[in-house]
Each structure stands twice: as structure tokens, then as C-alpha cells.
């Protein structure tokens, strides 16, 4: 019988507990630094805030992948992961307090100091815990005895990879080579104890619990071994070696209409991570819409004075998987901009007409140029984020006419929700005029997506807007 591994977050309860404790400690120290004391009267307020932090951290642990692969992370990766974690928690914590009118519980210094201290404490706490686990003979886990069945050519690479990524959850007991009798030899320090014809007899005489099968050039033989080993009551792990590593990352075996199917996609993401992304989108859109309302009071009179017409510009765009929606922006062009677009096609700086971009667009009125340089025109898109048509971070939503010109392989860039900002926007924006480069950046974002990457892009977006680099 095979015991399925615990879910991602429950495997790391020790790290979650460390993060919880250190975050609370960081907040306690921040309060002491700010007020130079801690009176009993303040305890209720601190307890309420601490409970909110606790709930947010637990939800983040369950819904995100922050703890996935934590034992394999090197120092730079752990630092980025920790910073992403503390930034999201403090951000959500602040938004929560503002929504429920509890923001005056502590001055801003306490939140900023808590973020800094928590980042430092948690980074070192995780690092120390990992070193402690790695020093243990069993890495803190009960090891299962594994027999690896493979070929001579594949053996060294397979054992190297298995040993590097095992994290102590199993012990490679021995190797069986199917295409050459190598009994008595050792590969990567693992003894070769069986040949093709005596594998079953060897297993019967040992305490092997599970078998890993890697026979990339002989699927029929792999199936033969798998069937017979299961009859012996063993758990068998058969590698999908005929697929690329990228395909394997985005492939799942699941049920579908009564069938067992191998499901593959451009990117498979756990539901919890998507829920976390949506939660961040909602929190960010609430703040963005509040700021947008304030901006509206100032920009609306100027827009109407320079170009009579509506303040908000609505345009049909293409969203995730071809879904159409209305995108909102502060109007930065004259009302006849769409009619004049056809006359300006010859000046389009993007090849194939898959995007429309020209420098010093004559359809943009003076204040509209300022809004574009400062990205003020983008703020109404927070409504699109709140409605679920867009995300804070994603790919650029094409217009309908751009979409109709797409070749089939360009459609991958809309396998996710479009975003207000994205990897393309923080990599040059107007400086990038080759649509293939835009597609490459969008594809990279989809392949490498994580909550941490979104946070990194959001920070870069702020820098791009402040420096006006690549804006138009």
C-alpha cells in the first residue's frame, strides 16, 4: 500500500510555525521600539492584531506555494521568497485594517518596522531550520527503501537527480540494470544488486518497499515490470520519460468523465495559488479604485477642457482564452481616435500590425500625453481587476482587430488573465517594438509565474512609472 504524501503546506508545519512565531515577535518588538513600553491596556489591541496576522499567515501558507521546495532553495532564492511572504502579509494586513477602520491601531512606523524585522527574523529562522534538518541522518523524515530499475546509459543521470531532490523522504537502496549485467558494481555510490532476469527474486529476498522505473526507450518493458511489481504488492513510480521536463511539470493524471486521463496545459497551477492571486487582486483593486476616485476629481475637468467628450474611455478587448470584455481608461485621445487609426497604419512601428504604436501619436491631446507618461490613464482598469476580467499582473489585452490577426502560437499569451502591468511593461514598454519579443516575455511570465514574481513585477512597475522609462 502506498501512502500518498501530505499536501504541500502540511509538509512544512515546522516552517509555518517558525514564521508565525517570528512574525508575532517582530510586531511585539516594533511596538516596544515605538512606544518604549508595553502597558497592560495595550494587550487587547495587540492580541486582536496578532490574531489577524495569524489568520493571514495560515491562509497564505495554505493558498500559496511559498513553502514548496523550501529545502532546495539556496540563500538568494530563500531571501526573495521570504521578502515576498512578508510583503504580501503586511500588505494584506494593512488593507484589512483600512477596510474595517482599524488602521489607527498603530502608527505606520509599527507596520514598516514589523515588515523589516519579520523579513530578517524569518529569513534567518528558515535558514537555521533547514541547516538543522539537513544535519539529521534522515532529514527529519521516515525514509522508504527504493529500488531503481533503469538502463546503463540512464543510470548515472537518474541517480544524480533522485539523490539531489529526495529531501530525505526516501533512501535509494540499490539499482537494477536491465540491459547489462553489472551486479557487484556501484553507480554514484549505489550498489547494482540485480540484472533484468533476477529482479523479482532480488526484491523477494529484500525489504524493498517501492520501485522507481525509468526505461525511456522501452515503454513495453516498463509496463511489464510495473504490472508484475504491483502484483507483488509494491508501489511503483514510473517516470513519464517520453515527455520533456517542462511538459512533466504541467501534466497531471486525473479522472475525466469516468476515464483516467493525462492532462497537460501551458501551465498547471494549484487552485490555492490562484485563490491567493485573486485575493491580492481584490485587495489591490480596492485600494486602486479609491485612488482612482481621487484622481478623477482632478483630471476630469482638464480632460473635458482640452477635449470635450467622456472622461472614461471604454474599449472592447480580448481577455483570457478569447473572452471579450470592456476595458476602462481615462480618455487620453480625441474622440475621433478610432476613426483616424486607419489613416495612421502606415506609421505603425510594430511589425505585422499585431499591436499599434507610433511615437508622438497625433490623436493624443496634450494632457493625455502627460497621463500616458505618468500612467494615470491606467487607473480605471482597477475596476476591471475588481470585476475579474483582469489581474494586477498579467499580459497586455489585445484589441479585437489585433486578436483577429494572431497566429495560433500567439494565443498562448492569453492563457491567463490580462493585467494592468506585466513582464513586458517592466522590460521596456514603448522601447519594445517587435511583437515576437512581447510574446516571448508574456510566455516567460506564464511559464515562470508565482506570487513572488507578481510582487517583483509590481515593485518594478512603480520604479518604471516614477522614472518614466519606456512610457508613452
pLDDT at 391: 94
The gap from C-alpha 133 to its chain's centroid, in whole angstroms, comes to 26
Grouping H, G, I as helix, E, B as strand and the rest as coil, residue 148 is strand
Q: What is the rounded distance in angstroms from the CA atom of residue 247 to the CA atom of residue 239?
A: 12
Asked if 395 and 419 touch (Cβ cutoff 8 Å), the reply is: yes
Residue 314 has pLDDT above 80, yes or no: yes
Residue with the larger pLDDT of the pair 42 and 446:
446
Q: 294-316: buried (b, 16+ CB within 10 Å) or exposed (e) per residue? A: ebbeebeebbeeebeeeeebeee
Distances (CA, A) of 118 to 83, 123, 455: 9, 8, 17
Closest to 226 (Cα-Cα) out of 215, 241, 238, 218:
238
The more confidently predicted of residues 190 and 383 is 383
Assess whether pLDDT exceeds 60 at residue 300: yes
Q: What is the pLDDT of residue 139?
A: 45
Which of the four pLDDT bands, split at 50, 70 and 90, describes residue 327? Answer: very high
* pLDDT reported for residue 142: 47
For residues 326 and 316, what is the distance between their CA atoms, to the nearest angstrom? 4
The residue ranking higher by pLDDT, 471 or 197, is: 197
Q: Residue 175 in 3-state DSSP? A: strand
pLDDT category of residue 6 using cuts at 50, 70 and 90: very low
pLDDT of residue 16: 87
DSSP state of 136: S
pLDDT at 437: 80
pLDDT confidence of residue 312 = 92
> Domains in the chain, start-ordered, CATH in brackets?
10-135 (no CATH), 144-242 (3.40.50.20), 271-467 (no CATH)
109 has a pLDDT exceeding 80: yes
Q: State how far the alpha carbon of 7 is from the alpha carbons of 10, 64, 67, 144, in Å.
A: 6, 12, 11, 18
Q: Does the CA dihedral 343-348-353-357 come out positive or negative?
A: negative
How does residue 297 score in pLDDT terms, banded at 50, 70 and 90?
Answer: very high
What SS3 state is found at 149? strand
Question: Coil, strand or helix: which one is 12?
Answer: helix
For the chain, the straight-line distance linking the first and the last C-alpha, in angstroms and rounded, comes to 62
Q: What is the mean predicted confidence (pLDDT) over 109-117?
A: 89
Phi and psi at residue 327, to the nearest 5°: -95, 135
User: What does the pLDDT read at residue 411?
Assistant: 77
pTM: 0.59
358 pLDDT above the threshold of 80: no
Question: What's the pLDDT at 419?
Answer: 93
pLDDT tens for 429-455 read 556 667 778 888 888 888 888 888 888
What cell was used for 119? 523579513
Rounded Cα gap, residues 10 and 86, in angstroms? 20
If you count DSSP H runs as helices and E runs as strands, how many of each does the chain have, helices first? Answer: 15, 12
Measured CA distances, 264 to 117, 243, 244, 247 (Å): 42, 11, 12, 7
pLDDT the model gives residue 471: 46
Q: Mean pLDDT over residues 221-236, rounded? A: 79
Dihedral sign from CA coordinates of 414, 419, 422, 425? positive
Q: What is the pLDDT of residue 120?
A: 93
User: Average pLDDT of 31-47?
Assistant: 69
Given a cut of 80, is residue 67 above it in pLDDT? no
What letter does residue 250 receive in the DSSP assignment?
T
For the chain, what is the mean pLDDT? 79
Which residues make Cβ contacts (< 8 Å) with residue 25, sequence separation at least 6? 117, 121
Q: Could you count the other beta carbons within 10 Å of the beta carbon of residue 3?
A: 8
Residue pLDDT, tens place only, 381-410:
999 999 999 999 998 888 888 888 877 677
pLDDT at 62: 73
Tens of pLDDT, residue by residue over 128-183, are 988 887 666 544 444 667 889 999 888 888 888 887 765 556 778 889 999 888 88
Lowest mean pLDDT among 41-55, 273-287, 310-324: 41-55
CA angle 371, 451, 381 (to 5 degrees): 25
Whole-angstrom distance, CA of residue 388 vs CA of residue 454: 17
Query: What pLDDT, on the 0 to 100 scale, is given for residue 387?
Result: 92
Name the grid cell of 401: 482587430
How many residues make up the chain in this entry? 472
* Cα(458)–Cα(450) distance, integer angstroms: 13
Element spanning 318, H or E: strand 312-318
Amino acid at each position: 500500500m502506498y501512502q500518498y504524501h501530505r499536501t504541500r503546506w502540511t509538509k512544512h508545519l515546522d516552517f509555518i510555525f517558525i514564521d508565525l512565531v517570528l512574525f508575532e515577535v517582530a510586531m511585539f518588538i516594533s511596538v516596544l521600539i515605538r512606544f518604549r513600553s508595553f502597558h497592560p491596556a495595550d494587550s487587547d489591541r495587540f492580541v486582536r492584531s496578532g490574531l489577524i496576522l495569524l489568520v493571514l499567515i495560515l491562509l497564505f501558507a495554505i493558498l500559496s506555494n511559498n513553502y514548496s521546495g523550501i529545502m532546495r532553495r539556496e540563500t538568494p532564492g530563500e531571501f526573495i521568497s521570504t521578502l515576498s511572504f512578508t510583503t504580501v502579509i503586511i500588505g494584506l494586513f494593512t488593507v484589512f485594517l483600512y477596510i474595517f477602520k482599524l488602521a489607527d491601531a498603530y502608527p505606520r512606523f509599527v507596520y514598516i518596522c514589523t515588515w523589516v524585522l519579520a523579513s530578517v527574523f524569518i529569513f534567518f529562522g528558515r535558514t537555521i531550520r533547514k541547516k538543522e534538518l539537513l544535519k539529521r541522518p534522515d532529514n527529519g523524515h521516515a525514509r522508504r527503501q527504493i529500488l531503481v530499475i533503469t538502463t546503463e546509459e540512464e543510470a548515472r543521470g537518474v541517480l544524480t537527480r533522485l539523490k539531489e531532490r529526495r529531501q530525505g523522504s526516501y533512501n535509494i537502496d540499490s539499482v537494477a540494470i536491465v540491459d547489462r549485467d553489472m551486479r557487484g558494481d556501484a553507480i554514484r555510490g549505489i550498489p547494482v544488486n540485480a540484472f533484468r532476469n533476477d529482479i523479482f527474486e532480488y526484491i523477494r529476498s529484500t525489504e524493498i518497499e517501492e520501485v522507481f522505473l525509468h526505461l525511456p526507450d522501452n515503454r513495453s518493458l516498463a509496463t511489464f515490470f510495473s504490472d508484475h511489481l504491483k502484483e507483488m504488492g509494491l508501489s511503483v513510480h514510473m517516470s513519464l520519460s517520453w515527455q520533456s521536463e517542462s511538459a512533466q511539470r504541467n501534466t497531471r493524471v486525473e479522472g475525466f468523465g469516468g476515464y483516467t486521463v493525462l492532462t497537460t496545459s501551458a501551465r498547471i497551477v494549484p487552485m490555492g495559488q490562484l485563490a491567493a492571486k485573486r485575493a491580492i487582486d481584490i485587495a489591490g483593486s480596492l485600494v486602486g479604485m479609491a485612488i482612482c476616485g481621487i484622481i478623477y476629481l482632478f483630471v476630469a475637468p482638464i480632460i473635458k477642457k482640452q477635449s470635450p467628450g467622456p472622461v472614461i474611455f471604454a474599449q472592447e478587448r480580448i481577455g483570457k482564452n478569447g473572452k471579450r470584455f470592456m476595458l476602462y481608461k481615462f480618455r487620453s485621445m480625441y474622440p475621433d481616435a478610432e476613426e483616424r487609426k486607419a489613416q495612421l497604419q502606415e506609421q505603425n512601428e510594430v511589425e505585422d500590425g499585431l499591436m499599434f504604436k507610433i511615437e508622438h501619436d497625433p490623436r493624443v491631446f496634450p494632457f493625455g500625453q502627460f497621463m500616458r507618461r505618468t500612467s494615470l490613464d491606467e487607473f480605471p482598469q482597477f475596476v476591471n481587476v475588481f470585476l475579474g476580467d483582469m489581474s494586477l499582473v498579467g499580459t497586455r489585452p489585445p484589441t479585437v482587430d489585433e486578436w483577429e490577426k494572431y497566429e495560433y502560437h500567439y494565443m498562448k499569451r492569453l492563457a491567463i488573465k490580462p493585467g494592468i502591468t506585466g513582464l513586458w511593461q517592466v522590460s521596456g514598454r514603448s522601447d519594445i517594438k517587435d511583437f515576437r519579443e512581447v510574446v516571448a516575455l508574456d510566455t516567460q511570465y506564464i511559464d515562470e509565474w508565482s506570487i513572488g514574481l507578481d510582487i517583483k513585477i509590481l515593485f518594478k512597475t512603480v520604479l518604471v512609472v516614477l522614472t518614466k522609462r519606456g512610457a508613452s
